[in-house]
Structure 1
Amino acid sequence: MTQAKFLQDRYVKIGSIKTRYWCAGDSGSPIVLLHGAGSSIEAWSRNIHALAQSHQVYAFDMVGSGLSDKPFANYSLEYQGQFLRDFINALKLQRAAFVGHSMGASLALKLTLESPEQVEKLVLVSTFGLGREISIASRLLAAFPLIVHLSQPSPRNVKLILQQNVYNLKSVPNEWIEMRSEAFKLPGRKQAFVSFLKSNINLLGVRRSVFRPIVSSLANVTVPTLIIWGKQDKIVPVAHAHIAARQIPNAHLHVFDQCGHWAQFEHPQEFNQLVVEFLTAAQQIDGAVV
């Protein structure tokens, strides 16, 4: 199992938002890693060093997440997508590959659709927003946000959350559970997470106004795209992976068995190899499925 390795925190101001980011690698083309909702750059701690062997890698805490500022705002995909644009502009990244997980994948996908000239290649991991279907827990939290506000950030509760995200809880080290418990205590985190839920999900699932524009535009994705999913994903069903693989013209699909919502964390060695090979390949074959 690839060990989690943390990097030195750096900070940059994106408008008025103090934003934490990591940077690794001093050669090759740039890669931007985008974490999921309620997560942070530590989600890439088993991947960033391997990717940095051949690329310049950037990962950052999205506004409202991790150690970045958490202003009172409507955390819609549009709001966070603009923040992503502002971040890559602040770091003067004119063109990069984007590797996104869950919410981060939907942001990378929207950026690709709106500004394809900025995206060299695209890796989508358990993408949020490819259909209405999402876990019952996500729908309940969106419909009844008081659950989030009343929840206590204890290791026990973190384990309950992780059981929904990973196939095998034993793959998550205790120090990671302790770290996530402390992260849940950060001021403003609950408010930002609730805002994301309410903006994008209701009791029926992902809001139609969120997923329909994305799904209806998949055929317009022009960059080479690698789609990665966990076969046992309890958050976003693997059926959504096949929707994207059928409609994106130059898409490759890889499904990990014995894997939940966090493929990059649960199968890091295989994930890293798969992504590096995809990013360094000279060209891709249209419609290939692996």
Structure 2
Amino acid sequence: MIRLTAKSTPAGTSYLATGQGHPVVLIHGVGLNKEMWGGQIVGLAPHFQVIAYDMLGHGASPRPQAGTGLPGYAEQLRELLVHLQIEHASIIGFSMGGLVARAFALHHPQQLDGLVVLNSVFNRSSTQRAGVIERTRQAAEHGPDANAAEALSRWFSREYQAANPAQIAAIRQTLAGNDPQGYLTTYELFATQDMYRAEDLGSIQVPTLIATGELDPGSTPEMARQLAERIPGAQVAVLAEQRHMMPVESPRLVNQMLLNFLQQAQTLRNTAEGIVA
């Protein structure tokens, strides 16, 4: 078991870092925090330097200022990389973290050399958009715990929920413990920015993987395919029988997919730089 001590950047971003090698940064989803990545930290750290951090308004990081948009969340990541003296990194974003990763790819392309978007959203239908706007309204009225039970039923399989009640309870406690304003600011972006600068996605020129679960109702396989079509050379992976929280529910399966992609991207970088393994 890897036990890490959280550190903070000058701007207050809380992060964990371990391992050596090419840097890989993990960005969690709305309402969660860096602790969701425990399975990936264990699986990836023997091969890479792995950094997981708390998004603005989550965990031990500061609350976003009023009106902060996706560029502000991308800037938080840039500040973290500067603090760690990392010039280039592969970025893995889950759900809302996938939107942040996309924004970072567009605003700071010179610092990106690999992109993974997991279980994220793109081009919602009118029905899907209405549903997430309603959940935003509930969160504004009742706080972060307003739709936690419904969220957990979407995120995890019934079997996993039944087999891991303590973990499910802990995740619900994490959701309920979020700063209300920080959570709402982030959730509003998650609800409305799935098409953020969609017309510019063709400018992303790094190895890219878009992946989701076959049974993820909010981040569907069709969304993954549509997003990948906008990014030159992007790969698509749809993991059979997986739901939204597949990095937590099936870490070994997800880790193998990530390792395959990251090592493939590393080989491409080495080839481009004239490095022979």
Distance 1:184 1:121 in 2: 29
After superposition, what is the alpha-carbon deviation per residue over 1:193-250, rounded to whole angstroms, capped at 9, x for unaligned? 112233453xxxx3xxx34443212221100011111111122222110112222112
2:25 counterpart residue number: 32
Assess, with a 3 A threshold, how the Cα gap between structure 1 residues 176 and 101 changes in structure 2: closer, same or farther. same
Distance 1:103 1:251 in 2: 19
The answer as to 2:253 corresponding to 1:270 is yes
The answer as to 2:203 corresponding to 1:220 is yes
Residues matched between the structures, number: 264
Distance 2:208 2:104 in 1: 13
Correspondence 1:191-270 to 2 at 5 A: 191-201=181-191, 206=192, 210-270=193-253
1:174 counterpart residue number: 165
Assess, with a 3 A threshold, how the Cα gap between structure 1 residues 29 and 212 changes in structure 2: closer, same or farther. same
Distance 1:272 1:31 in 2: 13
The answer as to 2:98 corresponding to 1:105 is yes
Distance 1:123 1:94 in 2: 18
Q: Is the 8 A contact 1:75 1:192 kept in 2?
A: no
Cα root mean square deviation, aligned: 2.5
1:8 counterpart residue number: 4
Assess, with a 3 A threshold, how the Cα gap between structure 1 residues 150 and 52 changes in structure 2: closer, same or farther. closer
Letter paired with 1:283: L
Structure 2 segments unaligned to the other structure (5+ residues): 270-277
TM-score (ref. length: structure 2): 0.85
Letter paired with 2:143: H
Q: Is the 8 A contact 1:20 1:67 kept in 2?
A: yes
Letter paired with 1:148: H
Distance 2:131 2:142 in 1: 11
Identity %: 25
Distance 1:181 1:7 in 2: 22
Q: CA deviation at 1:161?
A: 2.4
The answer as to 2:62 corresponding to 1:80 is no
Q: CA deviation at 1:51?
A: 0.4
Letter paired with 1:68: S
Letter paired with 1:218: L
TM-score (ref. length: structure 1): 0.81
Q: Which runs of 4+ in 1 moved over 6 A?
A: none
Give 1 or 2: higher helix fraction.
2
SS in 1 for 2:152: helix
Letter paired with 1:192: G
Structure 1 segments unaligned to the other structure (5+ residues): 285-290
Letter paired with 1:110: A
Assess, with a 3 A threshold, how the Cα gap between structure 1 residues 181 and 6 changes in structure 2: closer, same or farther. farther
Q: CA deviation at 1:113?
A: 2.0
SS in 2 for 1:86: helix
Q: CA deviation at 1:258?
A: 1.3
